[in-house]
Chains A and B, each alone.
Chain A
Amino acid sequence: MPTDRPTVPELVQAVREFIENEVQPALEGSVAFHTRVAVNVLKIVERELATGEALRAGERERLVALLGRDGDLDELANELIEGIRAGAMSVDTPGLTDHLRATVMAKLAIDNPRYKSYQRALERDT
């Protein structure tokens, strides 16, 4: 089945560009500030639409390896949190913080790739 265009990412991009290029320059004060926030929100949406699914698949695969069983992402994430809350897993559990770091890095790639700690971590990894 051919994909109808514009696609959802293309529509969101069009709205974001309109606000950024045409609305924002005409505003000042707190409305201008909140409009800048709104543009940033749309950028998050664009990044999540582009890579969110792959990131969730990656998280699930790492959880399967860490917990040693198959399941869907919600199930496995619940098992992880219960393990930590019960004290069965801690910062010393092999593989746990590596998994959490990979998950957090993937989230930051969507939420705020300009965050300094994130950029520093990327530099360290390369």
Chain B
Amino acid sequence: MAQGHEALAGGLTRALARHLEATLGAQPEVTDLARLTAGAANETWRFDALGNGERIGCILRRSPASLSGEAAPETSEGASETNLGKAGEAAVQQAAREAGVAAAEVLFVLDAEDGLGEGYVMARLEGETIPRRILRDPEYAELRTHLAHDCGRTLAQLHSVDPDRLPALNRMGAAEQLTRYGEIYRAFGQPVPVFDLALRWLADRRRDPQRLAVVHGDFRNGNLMVGPEGIRAVLDWELAHLGDPMEDLGWLCVTSWRFGEIDHPVGGFGQREDLFAGYEAAGGGGVDPDAVRYWEVFGTLKWGIMCMIMTHSHLSGMARSVEKAAIGRRVSETELDLLNLLT
């Protein structure tokens, strides 16, 4: 299944000649190819593309499973709750960028003729992504004073994207997600009473969203690339879907994404009022704090269930790893956070 380094470099060279000939000419070169992350559903590589005196820093994001014709294993790294596909992911990322969201420019989407599986190539940006550094390094002290507000603006811009301009996105509102995550959780046969209480609480309070929007689905500290001046790029668009825009605001506030800075509910760096003010000032519309709280509860439960998913992919033998074994013991963290939210 894994393609060798040289085969990938050769394939990329041919793909560049096909898709970027106008910029790089007919005989481009690929240099400094290195894998950044590995996984069954996603691989990320960095490389430089050379040609016509140009040098473009690139990132390749692709689904290695698509090479062998397998469906991406949906339970290996978080529940992929959409069937967006890499082309859809690229389309959402590019549409968000055109709406003003800081996101890497999509250069081209791989097609069947490229023979490299599903994926796309984007311009490489530099910046900090490690949450603990964003929260603690003195270099980002000033950033932390306005990052929550910036996140609000970014989400308002994303939620202004017209879904009709995009390939059909899965509709995953609260009802669909309650069904999905409830089923996944119960199928493990590992009862967690707090999860059942939370599922019940969420079902009892479910409301129809005020509107449907293009939702990032994993907008949190850890998927933000920043510089001292602000957000440089929003990363990881694979969970994008059509849903309640308040989902993105709630997920950003989940305690797990505060990385120990629990008194700063927005990503560990800011306050909810600043997030909401940034959202409203950028034309996102009025924020209902109760709806955001609803999605924070939902997000806390989802992260707990995702921990179970990852640990069971180890236990079942699908993806043996000490890291996946260990993450199962993080379920209790989400249980305490849920109890704090529900009582």
Contacts and interface: CB of A to CB of B under 8 A. Distances in A.
B205 to A, nearest CB: 12
Interface magnitude class on chain B:
20 to 34
Given A81-B191, A87-B200, A104-B194, A115 B336 contact: yes
Contacts of B326: 37, 40-41, 44
B197 A91 contact: yes
Interface string A45-61: 00000000000000000
Contacts of B194: 100, 104
Interface stretch (A6-14, A20-28, A105-113): A105-113
B336 A117 contact: yes
Given A34-B323, A91-B342, A107-B332, A117 B191 contact: no
Nearest to B337: A117
Contact of A90 (B197, B332, B337): B197
A5 interface: no
B4 interface: no
A85 interface: yes
A107 B162 CA distance: 46
B262 A84 contact: no
A67 to B, nearest CB: 12
Contacts of A108: 332-333, 336
Nearest to A112: B333
A80 interface: yes
Q: Considering residues A40, A78, A80, A116, which has the most beta carbons from chain B within 10 angstroms of its beta carbon?
A: A116
Contact of A84 (B196, B322, B335, B337): B196
B339 A111 contact: no
B188 interface: no
B329 A115 contact: no
Nearest to B268: A116
Interface string B313-342: 000000001110110011011011101101
A44 B322 contact: no
Interface in A86-114: 87, 90-91, 97, 100-101, 104-105, 107-108, 111-112
Q: Is the interface of A mostly helix, strand, loop or mixed?
A: helix
Q: Is the interface of B mostly helix, strand, loop or mixed?
A: helix
Interface residues of A, number: 30
Contacts of B201: 91
A73 interface: no
Given A97-B343, A100-B339, A81 B333 contact: no
B193 interface: yes
Given A91-B343, A112-B332, A118-B336, A84 B197 contact: yes
A52 B201 CA distance: 30
A120 interface: yes
A105 B333 CA distance: 9
Interface string A65-85: 000000000000110110011
B196 A81 contact: yes
A44 B333 CA distance: 14
Nearest to B332: A107
Interface in B170-220: 191, 193-194, 196-197, 200-201
Interface in B102-123: none
A81 B199 CA distance: 12
B191 A100 contact: no
A103 B196 CA distance: 15
Given A80-B193, A104-B194, A116-B260, 11 more contacts: A37-B323, A37-B326, A41-B322, A44-B326, A44-B329, A78-B191, A90-B200, A91-B342, A111-B333, A112-B330, A117-B336
Closest A-B pairs by Cβ, 10 of them: A107-B332, A81-B191, A111-B329, A84-B196, A104-B335, A116-B262, A111-B332, A97-B343, A116-B260, A104-B336
16 contacts: A34-B323, A37-B322, A91-B343, A97-B343, A100-B194, A100-B339, A104-B335, A105-B336, A107-B335, A108-B333, A111-B329, A112-B330, A115-B333, A116-B261, A117-B333, A120-B262
